[in-house]
């Protein structure tokens, strides 16, 4: 057993040995198991090291320096052992990985992950079930179904709802728009797009969403062959939420021009401001004009966990379909997302059959197959197990408290930024996003956009604080996305101090002092 150390590649050496089948199997099993345990333990130690030693959200390495590290990598020649492998992957990746778990990381929509989900990941990849059919994932099929049912319940759907786990919000949004389009054509034009392709007037189909809706919707409209021209962007209110009266006007205007409204996408939690479109008003309009309503709750879905703030999602239960990203707001590792429909019969519209996988004549009540609900993936990871571990061990309530804490910290931060003469805040947030900028403290030739760009870049390459940015009305703004319940108002205060320091430095160097 001397050989089965960390550096063992025992399993791959086996075929060279001459043995009868029984012995071979035994040894193969033992050798594999030993290597497995050692490899997984060593990998877990790498993660522990990352968590223990990482003090800043980013190492600050420049792309050219990092790229140079790849110069001597020869993919044709494998490394001799796990030790060398971990050394290499540390140099190339781990030590420069962005640390989403640190409170000073408040840039993009990346949540810190909960440990039960990580334990599930070990099982998911090793057993490697594929969620397409019962014969590839028996218990996995029912775990996924229960979680979809549970999520539907949180939304407020009846037992008629259904859905499927997807690879992300962009995919879920695609399913929403695709169903909306195909449903419209089937119901009102008696035209089956799945079989026949677009009807002649498809170039007049219109989908309404706010100016702040996620850009995956544009990409999806292009993918679907409707083109970005199919998207009608509706103006927003002072918190960058869709203005319902502008929505109604836009629908009437498009109809008057001979175009064909088919769907509305409401955003529950905009990527830039974390605010929620008026769901109930939008649902009324959708009903009035007989339009499919899709709610993109990729970000705002976390409110489903909260007792305190759940009311902000009121009206989501009226949507025909919903996008949920557990990997944004349920503290789940990437990927973990879902697409839900209010009426499960609607999923039949997109069903395709393959003789080798899900033959048409099969009784799917008898022998279920999740593939029937998935249009964007066939082989599909058992991501649902992560959420299962999380709910069964931590429970909804604890996750809800995390969510509340994030929202409360964000509101305190908003008040702090608003009260300071150094900053301009654009909007308060229903969730955890704040868009603001540092203002020049002295009159005299300072380019505010360039200054804020400098602040962001300097903090990034110092690795001390990671914030995001966006543009509003052509102006550059800094953006906090707070998704970590461990980020406190004290951290925010420190981060604002760092921002002020870099802002002042910039001003000192670029300020044109008045002659005197």
Ligand X SMILES: *Cc1c(COP(=O)(O)O)cnc(C)c1O
| Contacts to ligand X by CB under 6 A | 109, 168-170, 173, 214, 216, 267, 269, 271, 296, 298-299, 325, 328, 337
Shortest distance in whole angstroms from residue 234 CB to ligand X? 15
What is the C-alpha separation between 367 and 250, in angstroms, rounded?
46
Strands (E), 415-500: 423-425, 433-438, 466-472, 475-481
Shortest distance in whole angstroms from residue 302 CB to ligand X? 11
Shortest distance in whole angstroms from residue 315 CB to ligand X? 16
Q: Where are the alpha helices (DSSP H) in 54-168?
A: 63-68, 82-92, 115-127, 138-155
Residue 177, SS3?
Answer: helix
> What are residue 236's DSSP bridge partners?
242
499 is written with which tokens? 């921002």
Between 109 and 482, name the residue whose CB sits nearer to ligand X. Answer: 109
Helix or strand holding residue 420 (H, E):
none
* DSSP string of 259-301, one letter each residue: -EEEEEEEEBS-TTT--B--HHHHHHHHHHTT-EEEEEETTGG
What is the C-alpha separation between 78 and 74, in angstroms, rounded?
8
Between 154 and 216, name the residue whose CB sits nearer to ligand X. Answer: 216
CB 425 within 8 A of CB 439: no
Shortest distance in whole angstroms from residue 242 CB to ligand X? 13
Between 181 and 214, name the residue whose CB sits nearer to ligand X. Answer: 214
Shortest distance in whole angstroms from residue 422 CB to ligand X? 28
Between 293 and 499, name the residue whose CB sits nearer to ligand X. Answer: 293
Strands (E), 134-243: 162-166, 205-210, 231-234
What is the C-alpha separation between 285 and 312, in angstroms, rounded?
19
What is the C-alpha separation between 79 and 67, in angstroms, rounded?
20
Shortest distance in whole angstroms from residue 124 CB to ligand X? 18
C-alpha distance from residue 7 to each of 14, 34, 81 (Å): 15, 11, 4
What is the C-alpha separation between 169 and 172, in angstroms, rounded?
5
9 is written with which tokens? 């590649």
> What are residue 345's DSSP bridge partners?
none
Shortest distance in whole angstroms from residue 332 CB to ligand X? 11
Shortest distance in whole angstroms from residue 497 CB to ligand X? 29
Shortest distance in whole angstroms from residue 169 CB to ligand X? 2
Nearest residue to ligand X, scored by beta-carbon proximity? 169
Between 57 and 269, name the residue whose CB sits nearer to ligand X. Answer: 269
Nearest to 417 by CA among 407, 430, 427: 427
Running DSSP on this structure, what letter comes out for residue 227? -
Between 451 and 482, name the residue whose CB sits nearer to ligand X. Answer: 482
């Amino acid at each position: 057993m001397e050989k089965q150390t960390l550096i063992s590649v025992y399993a791959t050496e086996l075929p060279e040995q001459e043995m009868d089948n029984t012995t071979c199997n035994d040894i193969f099993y033992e050798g594999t198991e030993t290597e497995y345990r050692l490899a997984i333990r060593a990998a877990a130690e790498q993660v522990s090291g990352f968590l223990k030693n990482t003090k800043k959200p980013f190492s600050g390495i420049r792309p050219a320096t990092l790229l140079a590290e790849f110069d001597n990598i020869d993919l044709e020649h494998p490394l001799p052992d796990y030790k060398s492998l971990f050394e290499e992957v540390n140099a190339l990746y781990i030590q420069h990985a962005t640390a989403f778990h640190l409170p000073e990381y408040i840039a993009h929509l990346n949540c810190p992950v909960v440990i039960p989900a990580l334990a599930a990941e070990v099982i998911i990849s090793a057993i490697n079930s594929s969620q397409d059919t019962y014969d590839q994932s028996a218990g996995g099929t029912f775990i996924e179904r229960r979680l979809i049912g549970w999520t539907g319940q949180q939304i407020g759907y009846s037992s008629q709802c259904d859905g499927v786990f997807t690879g992300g919000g962009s995919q879920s949004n695609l399913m929403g728009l695709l169903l909306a389009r195909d449903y419209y054509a089937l119901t009102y034009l008696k035209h089956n797009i799945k079989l026949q392709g677009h009807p002649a007037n498809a170039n007049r189909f219109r989908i309404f969403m706010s100016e702040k809706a996620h850009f995956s919707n544009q990409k999806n409209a292009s993918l679907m062959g409707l083109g970005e021209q199919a998207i009608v962007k509706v103006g927003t209110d002072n918190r960058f939420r869709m203005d319902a009266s502008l929505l109604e006007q836009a629908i009437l205007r498009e109809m008057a021009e001979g175009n064909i409204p088919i769907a509305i996408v409401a955003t529950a939690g905009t990527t830039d401001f974390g605010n929620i479109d008026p769901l109930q008003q939008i649902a009324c309009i959708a009903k009035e004009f007989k339009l499919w309503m899709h709610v993109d709750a990729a970000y705002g879905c976390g409110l489903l966990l909260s007792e305190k703030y759940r009311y902000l999602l009121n009206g989501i239960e009226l949507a025909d379909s919903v996008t949920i990203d557990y990997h944004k707001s349920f503290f789940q590792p990437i990927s973990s997302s879902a697409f839900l429909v209010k009426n499960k019969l609607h999923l039949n519209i997109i069903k395709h059959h393959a003789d080798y996988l899900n033959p048409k004549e099969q009784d799917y009540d008898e022998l279920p197959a999740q593939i029937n609900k998935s249009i964007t993936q066939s082989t599909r990871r058992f991501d649902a197990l992560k959420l299962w571990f999380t709910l069964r061990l931590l429970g909804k309530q604890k996750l809800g408290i995390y969510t509340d804490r994030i929202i409360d910290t964000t509101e305190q931060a908003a008040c702090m930024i608003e009260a300071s003469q150094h900053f301009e805040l654009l909007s308060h947030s229903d969730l955890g996003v704040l868009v603001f900028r540092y203002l020049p403290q002295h009159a005299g030739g300072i380019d505010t956009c360039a200054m804020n760009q400098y602040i962001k870049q300097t903090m990034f390459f110092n690795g001390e604080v990671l914030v995001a940015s966006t543009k509003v009305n052509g102006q550059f703004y800094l953006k906090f996305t707070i998704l970590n319940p461990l980020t406190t108002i004290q951290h925010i205060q420190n981060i604002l101090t760092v921002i002020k320091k870099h802002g002042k430095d910039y001003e000192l160097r670029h300020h044109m002092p008045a002659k005197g």
